[in-house]
């Protein structure tokens, strides 16, 4: 069995959803290719509108809520008109859409604000999966819609309960042996109290990987609007090329350090069960895309990625010199405020770290001043070069640094991993860095 995940742009209009249905139907057949589990995001633009609705509710802007709901309802009515050919199915779909948006417009604003927000945000995936299932059934495919809220729940620590997921999802699939295509939602789940919640933005990739691991699928396919992971960011750099093979470690580094095609958490479950992840293009289904697995080709340098919105925190203290436990105390401050660190560099009397979440920056800095002088540098970007940088490789690091000989470098991190060389630059130098590395490393 395969897991196929499609993002919002792949469902952007009725024609694109029909295209997705063709891709799915070619793979989903008990008698031929095998069964599939399809995971869908909300139709592109929907979640952004739902976020605006939730914000409007928070501020008591009910008129604004009604206006956004009306725009969404009209949009989906047109979507349904173009999607379905049979009058009965079309009527059923329109009633479903109107009911969902009526529920949003009549939400109980006296209840928990966060509960309202999660309930509203879930509507995007619930609508896209309902419409897609109805369309497949109209085309006479043996299809069943599953609610992710029945088998995806978070533990008290806020992480997916993978044992519960595996038990519930496997049981549902085994009980429906005559079904070719299962359809379910990415992103949404329940929390430990049974309330509607989600895996945060981009979480549909994570959902697909979790589902693949839960049922030990043959592979997980992530379908987007680009033909695989590219060796640089095509938004800023010309003549980028798709990478045919990546190891799990390489893909995880690229996703974490800025490659937008893949959610940073999405590799972990598949890697744990050694399930290949394919990155494919709905607009060019014949393209090879990228295969992420334990294998990797022999190229030392695979790709470059960049991550914006970075803040550097530097702690200087003479007490750090030959002082066991000093770094532990520093890191415990970030742990106390639930703030992850991206990059670390140290000297004899200073340590610098980068973070991308500044929610608790002020109390972090205040606490760190107990250990020494603290400097904060904002508006930075991390640029990461990913590949197989084995210790035996000669000249690879030199090539990378030479490519950036005109860029002021704030930090350099190398040696902590065999898969990346990381630089910190000012945000305004990010694009220049990407282009310089592309020219120097890929001879473009």
For the chain, give every domain's residue range: 2-224, 302-442
The predicted model gives 301-307 an average pLDDT of: 92
Q: Which of 294-308, 317-331, 365-379 reaches the highest mean pLDDT?
A: 365-379
User: What does the H/E/C string look like for the chain?
Assistant: CEEEEECHHHHCCHHHHHHHHHHHHHHCECCCCECEEEEECCCCCHHHHHHHHHHHHHCCCHHHHHHHHHHHHHHHHHHHHHHCCCHHHHHHHHHHHHHHHHHHHCCCCCCCHHHHHHHHHCHHHHHHHHHHHHHHHHCCCCEEECCHHHCCEECCCCCECHHHHHHHHHHHHHCCCCCCEEEEECCEEECCCCCEEECCCCHHHHHHHHHHHHHCCCEEEEEECCCCCECCCCCCCCCCCECCEEEHHHHHHHHHCCCCCCCCCCHHHHHHCCCCEEEEECCCCCCCCEEEECCCCCCCEEEEEEEEEEEEEEEECHHHCCCCCHHHHHHHHHHHCCCCCCCEEECCCEEEEEECCCCCHHHHHHHHCCCCEEEEEEEEEEEEEEECCCCCCCCHHHHHHHHCCCCCCCEEEECCCCCEEEEEEEHHHHHHHHHHHHHHHHCC
Higher pLDDT, 60 or 358: 358
Class of the CATH-defined domain 302-442: alpha beta
pLDDT score of 113: 66
Average pLDDT, the chain: 91
pLDDT grade for 374, boundaries at 50, 70 and 90: very high
The answer, yes or no, to whether residue 321 has pLDDT greater than 70, is no
- Which tens digits make up the pLDDT trace of 190-219? 999 999 999 987 789 999 999 999 999 999
Architecture of domain 2-224: 3-Layer(aba) Sandwich (3.40)
- Which tens digits make up the pLDDT trace of 5-26? 999 999 999 999 999 999 999 8
- Which tens digits make up the pLDDT trace of 387-413? 876 556 678 888 899 999 999 999 998
In this chain, the answer to whether the domains covering 2-224 and 302-442 adopt an identical fold is no
pLDDT score of 112: 55
- Which tens digits make up the pLDDT trace of 107-161? 765 555 677 889 999 999 999 999 999 999 999 999 999 999 999 999 999 999 9
The predicted model gives 296-312 an average pLDDT of: 87
pLDDT over 70, % of the chain:
94
pLDDT score of 266: 84
pLDDT grade for 261, boundaries at 50, 70 and 90: confident
- Which tens digits make up the pLDDT trace of 73-110? 999 999 999 999 989 999 999 999 999 999 998 876 55
């Amino acid at each position: 069995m395969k897991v196929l995940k499609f993002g919002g742009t792949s469902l952007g209009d009725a024609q694109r959803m029909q295209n997705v249905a063709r891709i799915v139907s070619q793979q989903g057949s008990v008698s031929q290719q095998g069964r599939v589990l399809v995971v869908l995001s909300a139709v592109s633009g929907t979640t952004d509108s739902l976020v605006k609705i939730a914000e409007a509710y928070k501020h008591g802007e009910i008129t604004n809520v009604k206006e956004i709901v009306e725009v969404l309802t009209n949009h989906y009515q047109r979507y349904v008109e173009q999607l379905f050919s049979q009058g009965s199915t079309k009527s059923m779909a329109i009633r479903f859409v109107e009911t969902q948006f009526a529920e949003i417009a009549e939400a109980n604003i006296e209840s928990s604000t966060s509960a309202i927000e999660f309930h509203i945000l879930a509507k995007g995936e619930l609508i896209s999966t309902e419409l897609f299932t109805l369309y497949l059934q109209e085309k006479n495919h043996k299809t069943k819609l599953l609610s992710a809220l029945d088998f995806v729940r978070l533990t008290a620590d806020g992480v997916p309960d993978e044992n519960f997921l595996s038990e519930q999802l496997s049981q549902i699939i085994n009980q429906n042996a005559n079904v070719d295509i299962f359809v379910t939602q990415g992103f949404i789940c329940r929390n430990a109290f049974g309330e509607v919640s989600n895996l945060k933005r981009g979480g549909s990739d994570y959902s697909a990987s979790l589902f693949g691991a839960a049922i030990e699928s043959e592979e997980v396919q992530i379908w987007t609007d680009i033909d695989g992971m590219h060796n640089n960011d095509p938004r800023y750099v010309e003549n980028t090329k798709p990478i045919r093979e990546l190891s799990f470690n390489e893909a995880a580094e690229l996703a974490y350090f800025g490659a937008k095609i893949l959610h940073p958490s999405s590799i972990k479950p598949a890697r744990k069960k050694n399930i290949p992840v394919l990155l494919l293009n709905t607009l060019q289904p014949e393209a090879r895309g990228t295969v992420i697995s334990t294998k990797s080709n022999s190229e030392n340098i695979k790709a470059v990625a960049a991550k914006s919105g970075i803040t550097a925190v530097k702690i200087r203290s003479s007490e750090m010199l030959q002082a066991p436990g000093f770094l532990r105390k520093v890191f415990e401050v970030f742990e106390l405020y639930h703030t992850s660190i991206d990059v670390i560099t140290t000297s004899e009397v200073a340590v610098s770290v980068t973070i991308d979440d500044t929610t608790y920056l002020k109390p972090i800095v205040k606490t760190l001043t107990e250990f020494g002088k603290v400097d904060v540098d904002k508006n930075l970007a991390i640029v990461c070069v990913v590949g197989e940088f084995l210790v035996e490789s000669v000249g690879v690091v030199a090539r990378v640094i030479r490519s950036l000989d005109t860029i002021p470098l704030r930090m350099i991190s190398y040696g902590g991993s065999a898969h990346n060389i990381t630089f910190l630059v000012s945000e305004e130098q990010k694009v220049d860095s990407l282009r310089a590395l592309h020219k120097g490393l890929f001879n473009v």
